[in-house]
Amino acid sequence: MTEQKDYFAHESACIDEPTAIGAGTSIWHFCHIMAGARIGQNCNVGQNVYIDGAVTVGNGCKIQNNVSIYKGVTLEEGVFCGPSMVFTNVVNPRAFIERKHEFRETRVGKGATLGANSTIVCGIDIGAYALIGAGSVVTREVPDYALVTGVPGRRTGWVCRCGVKLPAGDGELACPECSDRYREEAGQLVSIA
């Protein structure tokens, strides 16, 4: 008797057991999901993605082609990982020195976007709704709603929850697309209800 699954996995995907994969999730060509991985509902895992055990992927995440998510990474709900972006898990790796006991945890906050070919150095938090520009190298904490670009990555602005860059200015900032309002306080952006 064939086991019924409430998610889709392409026949070329390798899914080690036990894993927890939510309903409505799609796992595409040549993916490898390691035992112990937890993937939420309604996720899209693109071609040639590797998800290690002890990784948590929240509901509604989109992981584009050629992304490897290593042990210690947590993606909260609605995270977008652009094509070929990279997570690291050791600060000073060497092929000839075993450092698996030095893996550092990385958390990516709700609704954040990690642009194509960006690199996220391990052991940091990326804030909710942050947007990391394509090709950026993130080496330090990223606040909520921050727009980070460059090598090394630096905050170059703020973005709305909908992903649109907010106009620069003092006081209140309003999104030109959806009209959500924000206020900058002590280097952080706060949503105004």
Cα 183 from Cα 86, distance rounded (Å): 32
Between the CA of residue 187 and those of 144, 183, 190, what are the distances in Å?
Answer: 10, 10, 10
100 in any annotated domain: yes
127 in any annotated domain: yes
- Name the amino acid, one letter, at 65: N
24 in any annotated domain: yes
140 in any annotated domain: yes
Residues 6+ apart with CB under 8 A from 159: 129, 130, 131, 145, 146, 147, 165, 166
Split into its structural domains, the chain has a count of: 1
Structure tokens at 37: 């991985």
Residue 158's pLDDT is what? 96
Residue 193's pLDDT is what? 66
Residue 3's pLDDT is what? 57
Confidence of residue 4 (pLDDT cuts 50, 70, 90): low
Residue 102's pLDDT is what? 87
Residues 19-43 pLDDT 10s = 999 999 999 999 999 999 999 999 9
Domain extent at residue 24: 8-160
The pTM for the full model equals 0.94
193 in any annotated domain: no
- With a cut of 90, say whether residue 2 has pLDDT above it: no
Share of the chain above pLDDT 70, in %: 97
Confidence of residue 139 (pLDDT cuts 50, 70, 90): very high
Largest Cα–Cα distance of the chain, in whole Å? Answer: 64
Residues 83-106 pLDDT 10s = 999 999 999 999 999 998 888 999
19 in any annotated domain: yes
How far from each other are the two terminal CA atoms of the chain, in whole angstroms?
Answer: 53
CATH code at 140?
Answer: 2.160.10.10
Long-range pairs, 16-24, Cβ under 8 A, ≥24: 16/53, 22/59
Q: What is the mean pLDDT of residues 46-74?
A: 97
115 in any annotated domain: yes
2 in any annotated domain: no
Confidence of residue 1 (pLDDT cuts 50, 70, 90): very low
- Looking at residue 100, the DSSP 8-state letter turns out to be G
